[in-house]
Each structure stands twice: as structure tokens, then as C-alpha cells.
Chains A and B, each alone.
Chain A
């Protein structure tokens, strides 16, 4: 997995981006606000200080006669720049200190007449303060290096300017900026670390699930996902996965046991073939011995053929392609035919075979349904007592058709009953011999019934006999 394609990295990336954007916005806004605040305060202070300065140039004395030549620059204000002390001295009482060079605040003022000639300046004013550009009547402010200056053009044409040095405030603002940035960085780092930790915790179960699934994929089916917390979504998922693994393992075990059983069943006839041929080939034998040996080999080969055919039948049923053929058929007719076919076998075994058949229309594969009846009746004949009976019934009940096969044999013990449909399960533990039994008959029968959406049930009473009932959905009229 490429690191930058992983969920962890993508989460982390977006989380970091978002956090950085939010923090950057906060820091910049904070800085701006602080800066604006500083300017605002300064401007206010400067404005307050500008008022007394401006008052100097207001026509405090009676204004010049309206008819006088040039209302501005009347006799009160000489056309030439007046010496500084004069202006200072004229500052209203209590305001002298506002611009004191010694006050340490660094406030200053400068005043110009309308001809841009400097009229007055405070002692604290730095050299070479340029006349601001003319603006509307409203006070305006400007930054000149670290100097903040507020100025106003008076109606009479003079310009008054108050300023101060913001060096310290700006340095403070810079410090504040660094502090904000530093705090932002620390928060960013904490956020990243926290995000990493949360992502890590959130993804931890995924890693556990992934490694468990990997071990299972490598063949160890007994592995299960072990999560400390099982209440969250991933815990739920792990639970579902574990259930799946359980079923998978059980299926796998069943399949493995079936394969092992099948190979065991094949081993015996194989052994017969091997030992017979090896014994015969060891030295010259009489024709009778050869004949007997070949007969034994043939029996073994037939047995293997039966077994292989049964295994193939089961494999086909397992893979589901048995459901291919479906046609209307009568279960009673199928049962009748089968019963007649097996009658000689029953007579040979001194068994009375009875049939009680009522029409039972259903939908299915007649050959396979015949196999169901054959297997059940064959079993009933085989597992019976001499002089016993086998009764085959077929008919329709509600929406279902059924065929039952009852015998008067020894019955099936309770411990065996749940297992008799299992492959290779034998209640009497006798191996399939020349009798023709493979141990797969009932398993195949059940598989066929189930492939027809039917059910196969058995009830048995030890000493009295067993009843097998196969039930299928009935064909609806008109089908």
C-alpha cells in the first residue's frame, strides 16, 4: 500500500489542511484586529491632541471683516511662518504637556499654512514632516514608517498634523503576531498529534482485521479477530466477519472430512486390487485361482465405480446444476414404476412390498425423483427383517405432495438419527462392502430432495421400523 493512498494519510492530510486553514485565519484575523485597534486608539489620542492645535488657527479673535481682502490669512495670522514659541505658547492651558518632548510619548504636531509653509511645530516633531495631500474636511491618518500621523485641513486652509511614533506598539504588535503564530503552530502540532492518535486508534481494528484475514487467507482458518472494543462500528463488523469465518471453517472442515472419507472408502477396494494382483503375480497359479482373483478384482473395481459415481452425483447436486430439468410429473406414477422395478429384489429378501398411491402432481426431474424413491425403498428392503414389510405411499396433502417409505426393520437409534443424512455416516459402522452400499445413498437422496425445494424427514422407533417422508411443493392446477 502506498503511504499517501492510505486512509490514514488521507485523513491526516485533510485534517491537517483544515486545521491549518482555521488556525491561519484565526492568527491573521487576530493580528489584523490588534493592529486596527492600535491604530484606532492612536488615532483617537492623536485626534484629541489635534483639537487644541487646530484651535490655534481658528479665528479665535474676531474674524476679519467680511469685506476685507482675503478672508484667510487675516491680520491675526501673519503671512510668514510665525516662530515656534509663539504657537506653543498659544496652546490652551493644560495642553502644553501634550506634545512635551520629555513626556516620552513621542507625540508631536506640525502646522502649515495654506501655502505649505510650516507655521508651527512642536519641539518633539521630527525633521522633514511632509505636508499631507489635501483631503476633504474630515481628519485623515497616514503611516509614515513607524510614525502615525493624523492631520486635518482647516476651513481656513491651514493644515494641522499630530503624530506619534508607533515603534513600540508596532514592535508589540509584531511580538503579538509571533505569539499568535507560535500558539497556532503549537495548536497545529497538538492537533496533528491528536489526529494521528485518533486515526491510529480508529484504524487499529482495521489493521487487526486485515492481519487476521491475512492469516486466514494463508490457511489458518482457526484465526479470529480479537478486538478490545466491540461496541463501535468496526467491532460490529468484526463480529460479522468472525461469524463468517466460523461458518467458513465449519464448511471447510466438513468438506475436508468428506474428502478424507471418500479417499478412505476408495482405499479398501484399491487395497484389494493391489494385494490380489500382487499375490497372483508372485508365482504361477491355477486357472481357478486366476479366475477367483479376477472376480475379486472386478468386485473391487465395481465398488470403486459405484463410489465414484455417487461422489460425482453429489458433486453435481452440490454445484446446483441438478435444478436444470423441471417438468410436470406424477410422484405416484414414479413411485409405482420404481416399486415394480424393485419387487424382485424385495421378493429375494422375503420382503412384502406394498404400495398405496394417490395422484401427486409435482414439478421436477422424473429421473432424479425416481432415484429418491429407489434409494428409500432399497434402504427399506436392506434394513428389514426377513418376512418384513415395506409400504410406499404417495399422495397430495394441501399444497404439497409426499412419498413415504415405511419399513419394519430394526429402526434407527436416537443417537444416530440426526446423522443418517451425513455423508459416509453409518449407523451400524459396517463399511460399504460387496453389499453395494457406499454410505452416500441417503446424502444423495437428501440432496436431490432439497434441490427440488422439498424436505426429507425420518422418524424411527427402535424394534418397530423407520418411516422416511419426502415432501415436495405440489404443482398448481394448470401448470
Chain B
């Protein structure tokens, strides 16, 4: 799962990146509205965390321009908690908002829900055959027994599970699992897929030669 954090406060941006990377997300950063809009428009993020008060191009305008081309889910961070500010945010096309100061746990929970909703799932648990994914607890069970997955492996499974039945290209997977600073070799993806197959069964992920991966 890949996120974009657009925040002009250096210290806040750094701590958000740290916390979200800790949770296994691939996190890209932008320090102002222009950079943020550019990145948001040119990559396929699973969600964007957007501060409203930004120099040059503020959050509202960024959101308006982004919505012309992309429907990436956006979570607004705002210091203004008046109802009219919330309404304005949601009307402009934000999918959720969080008022400063917030708890990191709440931010994570809202991001999870946002990503899940975007994939068209309302519930926490995705069941595929004998495998059950609890997206809230980041827990995968096979035949009722917990299976230990690394954060990357978990996101690989979650991304494919959220797009169950569709072929997900390697590029897309790569985009969603690694951030812009990752210089990993592309065969790392194969390593993750292979590990998941070992843990959840060889047939859990199907390879479509020349196209990508798919959970049937």
C-alpha cells in the first residue's frame, strides 16, 4: 500500500512518514502544494494524506485540481474543526478528514478504512477459501490459525485480495508496495510472492504469465 503525505511542516511530515512506514506502508512525501499535486497526479497512490494549510497551493485547490484527473482517496488534515470547514472539505472531494491534533492510531485506522472502502469492501475481514484477512488487525489466518507475514507480504496479499479476481500487473504491485526512495530490484516482488505461497498455499496466488498476479 502506497501513500502520499503532503505536509509543509517538516517535523510533522517526518513523524508521519516514520509512523506510516512503521506500519508497512510505502510513503512518498511532498512539502508543498505544487509538489504534492505533481506527485499525486503522476502516481497511483492508495491514499493521500493532505494538509489543508499549504504554502502557494493550498489543500482545497490541490484537491480540486486533483479531482479533475484522479479519484485517489484523500484524507484531509486540518486545524480548523468548524463544521463548515469539514463540509467544505468533504464537498471539495475529500474522502475523510482528521482534525489536528490527532492520534496516529486514528490516522492509521482511517487510512485502512479509506483504502478498504475504495476497493469496495465495507467489512474488515476478507475471506478467500481457507484464508481470512483481518485488515484492521493486519492479521492473516489459514484454517483459523494465524500466519506470520512481514508487512510487505501482508500488503501484497491485501492488495491482491482487495482486487480479487483481477489480474494485477507487476508494475502496479511494485508501485503500491514500494515508495519512490526504494531502489529494490524488481525480482524482490517475486521473492515476496514466493514467500506468501509458502505460507498460504501454492495455489493462493496465480501467476498470469506476461500480465501479473491474481488471487482467484
Q: Do A and B come from one complex?
A: yes
Known: A275-B15, A296-B14, A296-B15. A431 touches B8 (CB 8 A): yes
| Residues B53-74 near A (CB distance < 8 A) | 53, 55, 58
Binds B, one of A5-13, A125-133, A276-284: A276-284
A276-B18 Cα distance, complex, nearest whole Å: 9
Task: Flag whether B102 is at the interface (Cβ < 8 A).
Answer: yes
A279, B103: Cβ atoms closer than 8 Å: no
0/1 interface trace, chain A 139-174, chain B, CB 8 Å (1 if under):
000000000000000000000000000000000000
A292-B101 Cα distance, complex, nearest whole Å: 20
B22, A267: Cβ atoms closer than 8 Å: no
Write the nearest CB–CB distance from A427 to chain B, whole angstroms. Answer: 12
B79, A267: Cβ atoms closer than 8 Å: yes
0/1 interface trace, chain A 224-267, chain B, CB 8 Å (1 if under):
00000000000000000000000000000000000010001101
A275, B55: Cβ atoms closer than 8 Å: no
0/1 interface trace, chain B 91-112, chain A, CB 8 Å (1 if under):
0000000011111110000000
0/1 interface trace, chain A 413-445, chain B, CB 8 Å (1 if under):
000000000000000111101100000000000
Which residues of B sit under 8 angstroms from A274, Cβ to Cβ? 101-104
B12, A271: Cβ atoms closer than 8 Å: yes
- Total A-B contacts with CB atoms under 8 angstroms apart: 73
Other-chain residue from A265, A276, A429 in contact with B15 (beta carbon distance below 8 A): A276
Write the nearest CB–CB distance from B138 to chain A, whole angstroms. Answer: 14
| Residues A289-339 near B (CB distance < 8 A) | 289, 292-293, 296, 299-300
A434-B14 Cα distance, complex, nearest whole Å: 14
A267, B11: Cβ atoms closer than 8 Å: no
Task: Flag whether A475 is at the interface (Cβ < 8 A).
Answer: no
Which residues of B sit under 8 angstroms from A265, Cβ to Cβ? 79
**What count of chain B residues pass the 8 Å CB interface test?**
24
A409-B102 Cα distance, complex, nearest whole Å: 38
Which residues of B sit under 8 angstroms from A276, Cβ to Cβ? 11, 15
Task: Flag whether A355 is at the interface (Cβ < 8 A).
Answer: no
A293, B55: Cβ atoms closer than 8 Å: no
Task: Flag whether B80 is at the interface (Cβ < 8 A).
Answer: yes
A268, B16: Cβ atoms closer than 8 Å: no
Task: Flag whether B9 is at the interface (Cβ < 8 A).
Answer: yes
Task: Flag whether B19 is at the interface (Cβ < 8 A).
Answer: yes
A307-B10 Cα distance, complex, nearest whole Å: 18
Known: A282-B22, A296-B14. A268 touches B55 (CB 8 A): no
Which residues of A sit under 8 angstroms from B16, Cβ to Cβ? 275
Which residues of B sit under 8 angstroms from A279, Cβ to Cβ? 15, 18-19, 22, 104
A299-B12 Cα distance, complex, nearest whole Å: 11
B19, A282: Cβ atoms closer than 8 Å: yes
A157-B103 Cα distance, complex, nearest whole Å: 130
Task: Flag whether A270 is at the interface (Cβ < 8 A).
Answer: yes
0/1 interface trace, chain B 6-35, chain A, CB 8 Å (1 if under):
001111101110110010000000000000
A–B complex contacts, Cβ < 8 Å, 25 sampled: A260-B82, A265-B79, A268-B9, A270-B101, A271-B12, A271-B101, A271-B102, A272-B9, A272-B15, A274-B101, A274-B104, A275-B15, A275-B104, A279-B15, A279-B22, A282-B19, A292-B14, A299-B11, A428-B55, A429-B55, A429-B58, A430-B55, A431-B9, A433-B9, A433-B10
